Amino acid sequence: MLRAAVTAGIDHIDTAQYYGPDVVNDLIREALYPYPGELAIVSKVGVFRDAGAGNPHDDARQLRAGIEDNLRSLRVDQLAAVNLRLPSPGRADARFDDQLAAMVQARDEGLIAGVGLSNVSLEQLRHAADGTEIVCVQNLFHLADRGSTPVLAECTRRGIAFVPFCPLGLPRGPANPVLTSPVVIRTAARLGVTPPQVALQWLLQLAPNVLLIPGTGSTVHLLENLAAEHVALDDEAVRELASVGA
Ligand SMILES: NC(=O)c1ccc[n+]([C@@H]2O[C@H](COP(=O)([O-])OP(=O)(O)OC[C@H]3O[C@@H](n4cnc5c(N)ncnc54)[C@H](OP(=O)(O)O)[C@@H]3O)[C@@H](O)[C@H]2O)c1
């Protein structure tokens, strides 16, 4: 899958050392190392995961250790960007400042090329971006959950990449509110495309700074998702899709 993705032109892979732990980074390294020069591997820190659930692991020292774990498992000296992943969006308080300082220090020392944020509030985004360069923001956002619309607008205004996570909807499976939406299904049928393609193109047409990271373990889905780039949503589609999740 990873090799097929790169062959198909994917130049941005999202990961985390805590996915496993190590499992996803090991797969990426085994499949793609030495990495193509144009490939941006973007990771995230702030969570510790063993055999059980993930837990916050996000004081300054733990964030630094998380970055080093990613470098070790991916076998690189520097990552294109690393997101500071918060448990939930919140206040831009002193603890957030300490976390940001750890990320900036890692950038200053060359361990990461860019600082990103994940699961942040508008207040945290504004505070962080006023103080230092933020290259990307990764928040939950899809057709049926637009709670991060103000964060997306702020990213667009500041020229920061906005990377919606779970772009095909959450929960996955039979209760997926996007892929089972009658409006999405009807729109896809009318345009001669698929529901995932409608969901992905709807995100792309929102703003030029939207970057997509739909996860898949299927090469058929990979190519289907890539082709979403060429889908044209007409006015009727955009108007009807406004009601999804409302
Ligand atoms: N920052 C965060 O807190 C956070 C949280 C969650 C996820 N993420 C990131 O978001 C990215 C995507 O996450 P994700 O994979 O969990 O969620 P996702 O991309 O929203 O959903 C993936 C699911 O959609 C299915 N799928 C993909 N393409 C499809 C298609 N064309 N037709 C039908 N089903 C399709 C996949 O099944 P198949 O395998 O069968 O295609 C899989 O079950 C990852 O990079 C992840 O790291 C970040």
Q: What is the pTM of this model?
A: 0.97
The pLDDT of residue 125 is 99
Find the mean pLDDT for residues 193-207: 98
CA of 130 to the centre of ligand 1 (A): 31
Torsions phi, psi for 14 (to 5 deg)? -100, 135
Q: Is 138 in the pocket of ligand 1 (CB under 6 A)?
A: yes
The pLDDT of residue 90 is 97
d(CA 81, CA 24): 17
CA of 58 to the centre of ligand 1 (A): 24
Per-residue pLDDT at 51 exceeds 80: no
The pLDDT of residue 152 is 98
Summarised one tens digit per residue, pLDDT across range 101-154 is 999 999 999 999 999 999 999 999 999 999 999 999 999 999 999 999 999 999
CA of 216 to the centre of ligand 1 (A): 6
**Domain ranges in the chain?**
2-140
- CA 16 to ligand 1: nearest atom: 47
Per-residue pLDDT at 94 exceeds 90: yes
Q: What is the mean pLDDT of the chain?
A: 97
d(CA 68, CA 77): 9
Per-residue pLDDT at 52 exceeds 80: no
Per-residue pLDDT at 49 exceeds 90: no
CB 151 within 8 A of CB 120: yes
Torsions phi, psi for 116 (to 5 deg)? -120, 170
Considering just the CA atoms, what is the radius of gyration of the chain in Å? 18
- Residue-wise DSSP of 138-149: E-B-BTTB-TTH
Q: Is 119 in the pocket of ligand 1 (CB under 6 A)?
A: yes
- Our mutation pick for probing the ligand 1 site, out of 165, 184, 210, 211, counting the most ligand atoms within 8 A of Cβ, is 165
β-bridge partners, 94? none
For domain 2-140, give the CATH number.
3.20.20.100
